[in-house]
Amino acid sequence: MAKKQGPPDVASPGAEGGGKGKLKLIIFIVIGLLLAIGLSVGGTFYFMSRGGEKPAADEAAATPAAPQRQAAIYEVLAPAFIVNFANAGGRQRYMQVSVALMSRDQAALDGLKEHMPLLRNQLVMLFSSQEFASLATPVGQEMLRQQATASVQELAQKELGKLAIEQVLFTNFVLQ
């Protein structure tokens, strides 16, 4: 025999409770996520602002311990150095280099100025002893700059008894 079926528009009681339960679960998850995000942002701001503030006692203790670095002083060696060197192929090559000395002690730099002819001679000899192929690369130019710095520091140590300069800088470098 035929089975009785209820009207199609009447829903079963279990389906209605399941829909409301899922909706409540979604609402609780969203609220939980918003709460977690809010706590994370709040905690980040708290710790970031707390780490940025230093007590006055800590700042006072740290200031004298750090040595004050003096401003850099530059001495340009004019005129520019122009040297020639023989290439392996027999062709004459020329190099023009403008040099500046960097120091932080004006008195030592003034003392080194008295020995400028000796300093220029050392640099000319150093520059003219180089090979063209090695100077054509940035690495070769940096190596030459470091050699020039060591040469000038050695001269200053011998003549003045202290290091008068920190670096030799090339402000212009031309190879032909």
In a domain, 99, yes or no: yes
Residue 159: name the closest of 102, 121, 129, 128 by CA. Answer: 121
Angle at 73 between CA 118 and CA 142, to 5 degrees: 65
In a domain, 89, yes or no: yes
In a domain, 65, yes or no: no
Helices (H) and strands (E) in the chain, counts: 6, 3
Tell me how far apart the alpha carbons of residues 70 and 163 are, in angstroms, rounded to a whole number.
Answer: 15
Strand partners, 21: none
Condensed to tens digits (0 to 9), the pLDDT of residues 131-146 reads 888 888 999 999 999 9
**Residues 97, 25: one domain?**
no
**Residues 95, 30: one domain?**
no
Condensed to tens digits (0 to 9), the pLDDT of residues 18-45 reads 678 889 999 999 998 888 888 888 888 8
Residue with the larger pLDDT of the pair 155 and 58: 155
**Residues 168, 126: one domain?**
yes
**Residues 112, 165: one domain?**
yes
In a domain, 45, yes or no: yes
Tell me how far apart the alpha carbons of residues 151 and 125 are, in angstroms, rounded to a whole number.
Answer: 11
Residue 40: give the domain boundaries: 15-53
**Residues 78, 165: one domain?**
yes
Q: What percentage of the chain carries pLDDT values higher than 70?
A: 78
In a domain, 91, yes or no: yes
